[in-house]
Structure formats: C-alpha cells, structure tokens
Chain A
Amino acid sequence: MRRYFLLVASFSLLLGLLITAWQESRHPKPIALTPTLTGQVEYCLTCHADLAEISSSHPVNTFGCVLCHGGELLALDANLAHSTMRGGKNPSDFSVVLASCGGTNCHSGTAENSRNHIQRVTTSIQATYAGAIANIRYTFGVQPDLKAVLGEFAIRVPESTSGITELAAFNPTQETNPFVQAFGHNCLTCHLSALPLTGSEYIRYTGCSACHTPTQSPDRTDTEKLQSNQIHKLTTAIIYTQCDTCHNRGNYNLRTMTFEPRQDLPIDRLHDYYQPIAQFTSCEWMLDCVDCHTRTEAMGDGNLYSVKKDIQYLQCKTCHGTLTDLPQTRTLTDPNDLAFRLVLLNPVIDLNLGDTLLITEKDEPLWNIRVLPDGTYELFGKADGQRYVFRPVKGSACLQDPDRQDSGSCHECHSVER
C-alpha cells in the first residue's frame, strides 16, 4: 500500500486545488462601494445591487450596508458575508438596535433635539408591555397594585419622571400563578420584540421595523414580498394596516388566557375595527392612525409607564377644540422646528415659515394639519397624502359638555353607522 500512498496524496492535493480554483472561479466579480460615512470598501452590492434604497434618509452611497446591517464587508461568499450580520435580516430588532441604528448623530441622540428614538421606543409601553403584565399580575393577586414592576425585558431609566425608574424582566416560568404563567406563554405576541403570530395578517418585523417597514398593503394581499424577505424600506408613512398587525386582530380571553383571533373577514376600512359594538367617528376610520397619534404616543417619551393612558393623550378636542376654545396652534418661525424635520421624512404637505400648525397639549406639532385663512383646518394623510378639511367645534351647533371630552362622549353624536 505504501507505494500508492504518494500517488493518492498527490492526487488528493491536486483535486483539492482544483476544487478551490473552481470555487474561486464561481465568485462574482466584486462590485465595490465606499460609503462616504465609513470610507471603508464593502462588496455587498456584488449580490445586492438591485435592492431598493431603504429610504431617502439612508442613501446607500452615504451609509453603505455594513454600518447598519453588520456582516463581513469584503466577503464574496454569501454565508461568510452574512455570518456576522446584526439581527439577521432585521438590524432594528431591539436586541441589536443600539449597535445598528444608534449613535448620537443617528437614532440615540439627545432628548433635547428629539433624536433619542431608541431610548424612547425601548422604554415605551409598546416595547415593555409593562401595563398588561402588571394588570394581569394584579388581577390574579400576584402584585398589590397596578404599578408596573416587570417588563418584557429588564430596563432602568433613573431619570424617568413617571415614578417608575426600572422594570425587571418578566419570566413566566418563575410565576407561581398558573394564569399568569399562561398569560406569559400565550399572550405576549404583540410587543415590539415578539415574533408575530402565524398568518398573513400578522406579518411584521420586530423592533423599529415592526411599524416602519411596511409589510401590509391596504388590501392585505401584498404579503408575498415579506414572506420572501424582500422588503427593504423604512418609512414614517405608516398605513393603518401596519398597526393592525397587532391592533384589531382579536381579543384576549382572560378565562383561558389565550388569544382569540377575530373570526370575521373585514371587507373594508370601516369594518377593520374588531370591536363590533364600538362606535367610531369618520376620522377614526377614514384616517390612518398616525394622522392623529403622535410619535410620543406611539414611541414613548423616554419615561416608563404602567398604562397606555399615561402616554396616549390625544382627544377629539386636540384637533377640534371645544365650544369655548380653539385647538392649540403654533406659527412656524424657527427653521429648526421639529415639524420641518418630520415633513422632510414624509413630504405630504409643503410647510413654510409662517405657516400655522395645530399642536397638541404637550406641544407636539401635528405637522400634517395646517390652519387655513378662513379658520378651518386642512389635514394631509401621512400615508396617502389625501387632503381633508375640517372645522373647529367653536362656533358650531355642537352641544357638547365641555367637561366630557373623552371620545365616547363625542361618539354619542358623531358615530358612524356600519
């Protein structure tokens, strides 16, 4: 056998070299990109040149791919190139978002210039789910009150002004009450870190992309792209169907501690609401959720809260005023006004210095709603750009009780039949 050893070894060596050369020849000719921001060559476009630009704020020539996604910037082998990507296909997942999207010039800037998006959203009710956890634990006698003490993940916010400065991580397996255990296992499917339920109507990413990457078209038929992981887009023009991947999908059964999906098939926008007995006004079903609800309501203000009501504050009077007061407004005099930055991201309205906008009770600009010279208001839909004109309550024949400003009171007269 020894006499064959040299021949076999030589042949093996040649075969190995040939295989290596063959594999090498299969690699495509690299397409190099040197992003302005990093100055480092990356070869991602060799395979991904046809990918659409993710947003006008993140041009690939400036950012490249690796800065946000991670990965091996010079690898031409797909497995190697993708081996160190952050968050797989979703670098906005909260487990990696700080490394992917953070930075003082990016999305973890200071609260002073409203650029602390990551800090705000990771402390928000939608991320921590703290209110629901506290509510269930209180209901079953596990905690003495409704104050949030546990969240989807542990988080400390020493500067929180809400009275809650930290949350410990909720771990269902450490709970003794079987209902709380079941809640933990069955009902935590909608917070921003949770993987969605199975079904096309639930399809969304996690983290920032849960809302900002559109996976649901109005007719709910355009989910093929997501299933093949081809959606490469970030937007603030968030259509209501994206919100509906969590909201309006069904109810939680508190006896069985299971999620019960809605059984009906909505046929239009009006019937998308899952509560059959609830009342709605025109704006609640004609507009998209983001047309009224502000960034702070959705993404939090950096404080930890126990319940949605602590952070969701818009009421009908925010836009319509009352019998005695017009809604609050602000005339744009500062070119650095937040409204200009927000409209840049979604230019459905042409804002100029001197324009008067509606603002909320917390001084947030409703930048898509402008005061017209005749005292009415024009609203531009953030998702579809459609223009609506509406009047203030003041001076109208409305018979509202100024002390009753909850939406339910307004619905008594203004609900839509369906």
Chain B
Amino acid sequence: MSNRTLSRRDFLKLASAAILTASGLLGLEGLFRFLNTQTEPLPPTEFDLGPASNYPPGSRKVLPDIPALLLHAQSGYSAISLVCTHLGCTVESKPEGFACPCHGSRFDPQGNVTRGPANKPLRSLRVEVTSDNELRLYTN
C-alpha cells in the first residue's frame, strides 16, 4: 500500500474541477428553471357553470368571476357580459338594467346603452348545454 500524498498541482486541478462542476450544475439548474418558466396563463374564455338544473326558468344569476349575468328565459339560456364597453369596469345589475360604477354608463335590461360614456351595448355571450346537461359559457 503506497502512501501517496496529494501534490499541490493535483490539489489545484482537483479544486478547479470541483468548482467548475459546481458552477456547471448551478448553471444547468438555472437553465432548467429558465426553460421551465411558467408563463402567466391567459384569462379563460370557457367556463363550466355546472348542472343546468341549478338555473331554473326565470332565474337571473350574476357570475362575478366571469363577470356575466346568466338568464334562463322561456327561449332558453343566454348571458350578458358585465364588462362595460367603455373602459372595462364591471357593471352592476340593477332592476332597471345595468350601471357602471366607474364612469356612470347605464344599460337597459337587454344591455343597450341608455347613458354614456359607453356607446356600445353590453356583449351577449354564448351559452351551451352539454350532452350531460351541464352549462358552458364562452366569452370569446
């Protein structure tokens, strides 16, 4: 069994290699994190509203997360976007229609403008009943 001592040169080589390896691992970790960066998801455009039976005929349901108003009339389901067409604030549902708390626009129950500054009606949104009798709402 030989009693080898580490020469100074070998030590320096070893230390450099160790440091370079650590640097490489750190760099790889950074690269890995960069490549796996999760971009912020785009706002959803489809919403599952649950069983259609939750929305009986004649009901008006405000869906604040979308935001929209879901209506169940005799003619079927429909929805009105609660995003004001002026600057995008969320309008409030009132007995006489809709009111924007930001800049005062008013809309009738069908979403038509009755007072500016908005000059376009509230958007109608598509609502579908799926085969398993669930409601799905589309905002795009």
Q: Give the B-binding residues of A (Cβ under 8 A).
A: 3-4, 6-7, 10-11, 13-14, 17-18, 20-21, 32, 34-37, 39, 41, 56-59, 61-63, 105-106, 113, 115, 335-336, 340-341, 344
Contacts and interface: CB of A to CB of B under 8 A. Distances in A.
Which 7 residue pairs spanning A and B have beta carbons closest together? A36-B88, A10-B19, A344-B104, A41-B40, A17-B26, A335-B115, A37-B88
A65 B9 CA distance: 58
Contacts of B101: 56
Nearest to B106: A335
Interface string B102-140: 111010000000111100000000000000000000000
Nearest to B8: A3
18 contacts: A3-B12, A7-B19, A10-B15, A10-B19, A14-B22, A17-B23, A20-B30, A21-B26, A35-B88, A36-B83, A57-B102, A58-B102, A59-B89, A59-B102, A61-B90, A62-B88, A115-B117, A336-B115
Does more than half of chain B's interface fall in helix, strand or loop, or is it mixed? mixed
B73 interface: no
B63 interface: no
A259 B114 CA distance: 52
B16 interface: yes
Contacts of A37: 87-88
A17 B29 CA distance: 11
Contacts of A105: 86-87, 117
B95 interface: no
A56 B87 contact: no
Contacts of B116: 113, 336
Nearest to B67: A36
A104 to B, nearest CB: 10
B101 to A, nearest CB: 6
Interface string B9-37: 10010011001101100110010000000
A335 B114 contact: yes
A32 B40 contact: yes
